[in-house]
Amino acid sequence: MNIGEAADTTGLPAKTIRYYEDIGLIRPGRAANGYRDYGDKDVHRLAFIQRSRSLGFTIDECRSLLSLYKDKERASSDVKALATDKIREIDRKLRELQSLRDTLTNLADHCHGDDRPDCPIIDEMAGGTRI
């Protein structure tokens, strides 16, 4: 199938598929006319990458996951280690986001929100000094 059909099947933009090819995540064959020719394995690999990316894995982590996927001798503990590392990273990001939310909530709670120019939100962002 051509890149348009692969894009339709996977829901990925053709530009993303070309990028994945450029960085070596996929290697489709070539038809007699020189155009990319995506087989079922290529489409399955693209879907695997898409799902991995939607779970927050980086390109390099996707590369590792693909390597483990292809390795029939793999230990599931290797896959689990990647997943638990990602969970720890997500938990860290959630803590950071909660801290940001708490800070902004506190600032918003202390802002009068009226017609006066005094604003603790702006003051905090300016480091307590006026520009």
| Confidence band for 119, pLDDT divided at 50, 70 and 90 | confident
Q: Which domain holds residue 96?
A: 75-131
Q: What is the DSSP letter of 113?
A: -
7 and 68 housed in the same domain: yes
Q: Which residues contact 53 (CB under 8 A, 6 or more apart)?
A: 62
What is the Cα 109 distance to its own chain's centre? 33
What own/partner pairs with CB < 8 Å and gap ≥ 24 does 100-106 have?
A: none
What is the distance between the alpha carbons of residues 46 and 79, in angstroms, rounded to a whole number?
A: 19
Structural domain count of the chain: 2
| CATH assignment at residue 54 | 1.10.1660.10
| Confidence band for 127, pLDDT divided at 50, 70 and 90 | confident
| Confidence band for 116, pLDDT divided at 50, 70 and 90 | confident
Region of residue 114 (left: phi > 0; alpha: psi -120 to 50; beta: else): beta
64 and 33 housed in the same domain: yes
93 and 68 housed in the same domain: no
pLDDT at position 73, please? 95
pLDDT at position 48, please? 96
pLDDT at 35 over 90: no
pLDDT in tens, 74-111: 999 999 999 999 999 999 999 999 999 999 999 999 88
- For 4, the token pair is 């348009």
